């Protein structure tokens, strides 16, 4: 069996410096204070590497990012946050070589706990060899790793894994100690030497469909400094945007958003308001952030009620449009939607939850059963610093994080109202209608359709089915303060 051993940092990943991944663990696992502490220590880490003491710098990063953090929290960040940033940094030429072998082993100087899930699920590796965090009996990381020399530890583990025969190929930087155990060695860059692997050029790692965390960009030291400097200004800007947005009428908000740095791009022609006495239009939207129905109402310059589920009480209080809370009891929800449509237009996001990546989750078919006046609306957004959705953190802060971005941009594309022959009135099943709407919205955005559901997302990101117990805003703030994390989770 052909076997390969590849280094992760600087080989499968383009960036050799893992500091940005420890920054993510610090921010998402503990909060802003630890994030700032690790940034303060970065010059020391950099100096140690310049002096040839890279292992000391690595140990310092591990300690600063993980000491006192629950093992389960580090594992949660590794499951929900890190894969997206790892995937964005993949060297596809190295991946072509790596994926062409039958037995694949990855070695990393980062803690195995941080990398194993991504490497096995997305790079399809058979084994991951990395440093091992020392965990206390109470389940907290001590900040130390087992063993005194990580290079010796990795080499010994590789040797034990290949007792009978040496690995066929080793990928890594010239200083990687495990390469001496391999029959052949290849060092980056790989472009010029790997023509024999061209038949693998269409093979790609398994995509990351779900991911969590607040940060949009991988926090290299320069990006991390920019985030910290922007944070106080962002809080002030978000407060102004929210307060002014609550006070101004809907007709004035498009002008206000431009003044405060926001931008809304509208494509297509929206339908006119429903006339009195007639049933309203059901706007069926893709679900990117909590702001989708608000932005739609802003574009239409009138308040349109939105169907919601698992929305925090704070978000309901701050919402400038009426919200209709669903129960997930089908007949009860159907009656609620019918009642709202009888009174006018309504917004629904049949995915049931947000998805950040260019994928659409499976559409619930309930909306197709209740009306034939369906207008699909493709929603998309771009932000610079912070994501406005979370599966693991405090959902009450979602609108605040959205408005903390310097220049949030929304794209709203109105499609034509479904013709009668494409609705249930023509004899089509609700599932056929829902799938058709999903397909045309995906085609408009250049996204891919999936069969994943809200439960699938929360099982991947949070380890639960997404059920939220509704507490008051005060209770949520108490919960945040009582944890070891600062306000920004």
- Which domains are seen in the chain, by residue range? 3-200 (3.40.50), 234-482 (3.40.1130)
Does residue 60 have a cis peptide bond before it, meaning omega lies within 30 degrees of 0? no
Please give the Cα distance from 116 to 130 (Å, whole number): 9
Q: What is the pLDDT of residue 308?
A: 86
Antiparallel, parallel or unpaired: β 359-360 and 346-348: unpaired
Please give the Cα distance from 21 to 65 (Å, whole number): 10
Q: What is the pLDDT of residue 276?
A: 66
Q: What is the pLDDT of residue 202?
A: 53
Which structure tokens are listed for 20?
A: 């940005």
Chain centroid, CA 1 distance in Å: 37
Q: What is the pLDDT of residue 486?
A: 35
Q: What is the pLDDT of residue 245?
A: 81
Chain centroid, CA 376 distance in Å: 25
Find the largest Cα–Cα distance for the chain. Answer: 81
Q: What is the pLDDT of residue 481?
A: 35
Antiparallel, parallel or unpaired: β 374-382 and 282-285: parallel
Averaged in consecutive runs of 10 residues, what is the pLDDT profile of the chain (489 residues)? Answer: 88 93 95 95 94 91 95 94 95 90 93 94 93 93 87 89 87 88 86 51 80 94 96 94 83 81 91 75 93 91 86 77 85 90 91 93 92 94 92 85 93 95 91 95 96 91 63 38 35
Q: Are 150 and 61 in contact (CB under 8 A)?
A: no
């Amino acid at each position: 069996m052909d076997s390969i051993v590849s280094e992760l940092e600087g080989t499968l990943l383009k960036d050799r410096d893992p500091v940005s991944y420890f920054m993510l663990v610090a921010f998402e696992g503990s909060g802003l204070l630890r994030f700032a502490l690790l940034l303060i220590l970065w010059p020391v880490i950099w100096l140690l590497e310049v002096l040839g003491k890279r292992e000391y710098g690595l140990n310092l990063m591990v300690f600063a990012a993980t000491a006192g953090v629950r093992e389960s929290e580090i594992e949660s960040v590794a499951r929900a946050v890190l894969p997206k940033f790892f995937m964005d940094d993949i060297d596809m030429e190295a991946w072509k070589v790596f994926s062409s072998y039958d037995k694949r082993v990855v070695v990393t100087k980062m803690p195995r706990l941080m990398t194993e899930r991504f490497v096995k699920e997305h790079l399809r590796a058979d084994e991951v060899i990395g440093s091992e965090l020392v965990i206390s009996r109470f389940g907290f990381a001590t900040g130390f790793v087992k063993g005194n020399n990580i290079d010796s530890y990795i080499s010994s583990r590789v040797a034990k894994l290949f007792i009978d025969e040496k690995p066929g190929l080793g990928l890594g930087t010239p200083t990687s100690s495990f390469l001496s155990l391999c029959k052949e060695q290849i060092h980056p860059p790989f472009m010029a030497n790997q023509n024999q692997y061209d038949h693998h050029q269409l093979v790609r790692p398994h995509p990351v469909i779900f991911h969590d965390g607040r940060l949009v960009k991988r926090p290299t030291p320069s990006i991390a400094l920019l985030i910290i400097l922007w944070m106080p200004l962002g809080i002030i800007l978000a407060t102004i945007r929210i307060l002014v947005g609550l006070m101004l009428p809907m007709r004035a908000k498009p002008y206000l958003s431009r003044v405060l740095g926001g931008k809304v791009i509208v494509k297509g022609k929206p339908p006119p308001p429903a006339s009195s006495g007639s049933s309203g239009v059901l706007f069926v939207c893709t679900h990117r952030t909590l702001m989708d129905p608000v932005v739609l109402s802003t574009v239409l310059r009138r308040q349109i009620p939105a169907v919601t589920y698992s929305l925090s009480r704070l978000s309901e209080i701050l919402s400038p449009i009426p919200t209709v809370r669903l129960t997930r009891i089908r007949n009860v929800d159907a009656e609620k939607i019918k009642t709202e449509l009888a009174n006018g237009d309504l917004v629904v996001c049949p995915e049931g939850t947000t998805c950040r990546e260019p994928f659409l989750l499976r559409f619930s078919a309930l909306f197709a059963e209740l009306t034939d006046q369906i207008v699909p609306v493709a929603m998309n957004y771009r932000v610079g610093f912070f994501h406005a959705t979370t599966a693991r953190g405090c959902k009450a802060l979602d609108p605040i994080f959205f408005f903390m971005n310097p220049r949030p941009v929304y794209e709203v594309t109105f499609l034509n109202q479904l013709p009668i022959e494409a609705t249930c009135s023509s004899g089509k099943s609700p599932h056929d209608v829902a799938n058709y709407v999903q397909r045309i919205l995906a085609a408009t955005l250049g996204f891919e359709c999936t069969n994943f559901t809200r439960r699938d997302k929360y099982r991947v990101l949070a380890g639960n089915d997404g059920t939220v117990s509704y507490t008051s805003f005060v209770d949520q703030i108490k919960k945040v303060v009582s944890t070891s994390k600062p306000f920004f989770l």
